[in-house]
Amino acid sequence: MYGNDIPEQPGTAGLLDEVAAAERDLAGRDHDASADPTAYFDAVIAADGKIEPRDEMPEAYRKGLIRQIAQHAHSEIIGMQPEGNWISRAPSLKRKAILLAKVQDEAGHGLYLYAAAETLGIDRAELYRLLLAGKQKYSSIFNYPTLTWADVGAVGWLVDGAAIVNQVPLCRCSYGPYARAMIRICKEESFHQRQGYEILYTLATGTPEQKAMAQDAVDRWWYPSLAMFGPPDTDSTHSAQSMAWKIKRFSNDDLRQKFVDMTVQQAGVLGLVLPDPGLSWNEERGHWDYTQPDYDELFTVIKGDGPCNRERMAHRQAAWDDGAWVREAAMAYAEKKKVTT
Ligand SMILES: [Fe+2]
Ligand SMILES: [Fe+2]
């Protein structure tokens, strides 16, 4: 799925084909929702179809989606910072060009997702305001620093890798604009994962110092990447309703397990060690046993006390302030056009 050297994972192979089939089903379905909107919503969800912006939907569905899509959009654009940090210091022109393209991709992901959220009747300026006011969150992972060049590899391999495992099932989520945005995002994320893997492979097969740098980066990024899947199922507040509405398809713990199983194999090819002495193959379960991340740390970071939370938000606030003249100029231009046409 994500390249020749990365084997297909159970449960994710052929997903895009399934999305295409679901879209065909939807196109063939009678769209008369006027008779009983609630029954229509329930029927579409039950039939694995897509809810579209024009359809009636429960208020909690709409609000929950806004929360989730906004958090996702914020993560994409805040996630530009730790890697943007290395654009000017990439070790070659080729590496610089690749990283620049990757960081630009993340801006594009933010754009698709803010646009998807807007179809639910909220303005992106309002979402931005909520982010800057600390009322909406972004992924905790982006509050960790990128200390060496190898971190750019580890972020691509582990963070984008975890994002893919989380996001491929969202290509099938019940809200049409979100599902369609995710298809393109996942295709681009797979490039990101591969470029990170390739950076680490180059370092891991280089000098002993380079290999040590790669290992150090993996040591620091492993547990925060596991924490990206959120709290354990027993403590996850939004999961049950999200699964009933077919926004979420797998539980946090199932996705985390999928990621561990996939990554252990890839670490073997890299010749790097995942920093978990508890990792062992469980024949009975058919999965790797692993040590859970420190969820207290996760909650500390979510609450705003991670290593880089303040820096990330200050940077975002400065970008908003510095961009004021662009927004004002665009509005003035739009007004002028309105008058002259
Ligand atoms: Fe992304
Ligand atoms: Fe990415």
Query: What pLDDT, in 10s, does the model give residues 182-215?
Result: 999 999 999 999 999 999 999 999 999 999 999 9
Indicate the class that CATH gives domain 12-340. Answer: mainly alpha
pTM: predicted TM-score of the whole model, two decimal places: 0.86
Distance CA 37, CA 55 (A): 8
Distance 98 CA to ligand 1 centre (A): 15
Is residue 156 predicted with pLDDT exceeding 60?
yes
Query: What pLDDT, in 10s, does the model give residues 50-70?
Result: 999 999 999 999 999 999 999
Please, how many CA atoms are within 13 Å of residue 132, restricted to the half-sphere of its CB?
14
125-161 b/e (C-beta count within 10 Å ≥ 16 → b): eebbebbeeeebbbbbbbbbebebbbbbbbbbbbbbb
Which sequence spans correspond to the domains of the chain?
Answer: 12-340
Distance 37 CA to ligand 1 centre (A): 34
Residue 302 is predicted with a pLDDT of 86
Distance 337 CA to ligand 2 centre (A): 37
Residue 233 is predicted with a pLDDT of 85
Q: Tell me the pLDDT of the chain averaged across its residues.
A: 90
Nearest ligand (C-alpha, residue 157)? 2
Nearest ligand (C-alpha, residue 190)? 2
Distance 192 CA to ligand 2 centre (A): 5
Residue 34 is predicted with a pLDDT of 61
Of 90-94, 131-135, 296-300, 309-313, minimum mean pLDDT range:
296-300
Residue 326 is predicted with a pLDDT of 96
Residue 273 is predicted with a pLDDT of 97
Instruction: pLDDT band for 4, please (50, 70, 90 cuts).
Output: very low
Distance CA 26, CA 22 (A): 6
Element of type H or E holding 288? strand 287-289
